[in-house]
Amino acid sequence: MVKPCIQEEQCRFCASCGLLEIHLSSDCGQPPLNTRIVGGQDALAGSWPWQVSLQKTKHFCGGSLINNLWVLTAAHCIPSLTHNLLIISRTVAQIIVHPDYNSVTSNNDIALLKLSSSVSFTSYISPVCLAASDSSFYSGVNSWVTGWGNVGEGDNSPFSDNLKEVEVPVVGNRLCYCNYNSRRVTITDNMICAGLTEGGKDSCQGDSGGPMVSKQGGRWIQAGVVSFGVGCARPNIPGVYTRVSQYQNWVNSQITSNQPGFITFTSTGTNSDLSIICFLLHPSDILQPVRSFPGLQICWV
């Protein structure tokens, strides 16, 4: 999947193409076909009908359809290009990168793409729900990540022709901070992490901008946007995603009509992350270099 890289590490991208059609926001997060990457498997057609591919001659990043006019993706997927260079089955009329996006720290790594005309839904194309601002994702919450990125770290082969899916648990921000602290990378409240302690499953190069979703009450809710990581699927190094629930006000301020479906995701039980304590570097020692990537175009599946 594409993520920016940390220091010497590789970066991650994702995408998929196809016809483009959609449902009302009230129908978000409900695949009509009702089917359910690194360490992942091929996804069945129609399993993730909100998945989007950004392309410039070929796939380089992913995104998610959030209503009939807008796509959510990562800010680092958006190069400095004029709008008319962005072409899919619809042209892109507008690009909105979060005003506080920091390409060095990857904080606020989120962007919106507006299509020139609305699309219609099919069994294979429909929007995802977005996590509302009061959502809580405790450690261990099951999540799915989808994309066309590499299937292993250091894999230099072309991105997958088939959409991949992988299930990974949420990793609490305190533990994630501890995991990345030794690498001089700061995990902020605008981020959410996911991965296995033992590694083996993760998003990877080519998956950036794509969605991380969790299911509640029969609906799939997007918790994160693939952002960055160190390598792919390494032990004790979870993938890092932009936390969607932090941006409800910003998204709604940009999309004034037919707003996306924001739904509160509520975790149950006790949040084990609250008991995590780790050694912290002095703030002056924190460095967060990440590499950004050029190129852009868009497609759906």
Residue 65 inside a domain? The answer is yes
Residue 1 has a pLDDT of 40
Q: What average pLDDT score do residues 52-80 get? A: 86
Question: In terms of residue numbers, what domain contains 89?
Answer: 25-267+287-300
64: CATH: 2.40.10.10
Token duo for residue 211: 């969605």
| Number of domains the chain is built from | 1
Q: Which of 47, 64, 109, 135 is catalytic?
A: 109
76 catalytic? Reply is yes
Give CA separation, 98 vs 43, 108, 246, 253, in Å. 30, 7, 12, 12
pLDDT in tens, 146-166: 988 666 556 565 566 778 888
pLDDT in tens, 275-294: 888 765 444 333 333 323 33
CB distance 273 to 159 below 8 Å = no
Residue 155 inside a domain? The answer is yes
Residue 225 inside a domain? The answer is yes
Residue 226 inside a domain? The answer is yes
Q: What average pLDDT score do residues 221-242 get? A: 86
Residue 7 inside a domain? The answer is no
Q: What average pLDDT score do residues 9-14 get? A: 30
Residue 135 has a pLDDT of 97
Kindly report whether the global pTM for this prediction surpasses the value 0.75.
yes
pLDDT in tens, 89-134: 667 789 999 999 999 999 999 999 998 889 888 888 899 999 999 9
208 catalytic? Reply is yes
DSSP state of 253: H
Dist CA 37 CA 149 (whole Å): 7
Q: Which of 63, 20, 42, 22 is nearest to 206 (CA)?
A: 63
Residue 136 inside a domain? The answer is yes
Lowest mean pLDDT among 52-61, 171-180, 292-301: 292-301
Q: Which of 16, 25, 208, 227 is catalytic?
A: 208
Q: Which of 76, 106, 143, 202 is catalytic?
A: 76
Run of H or E including 249: helix 248-254
Residue 14 inside a domain? The answer is no
Residue 242 inside a domain? The answer is yes
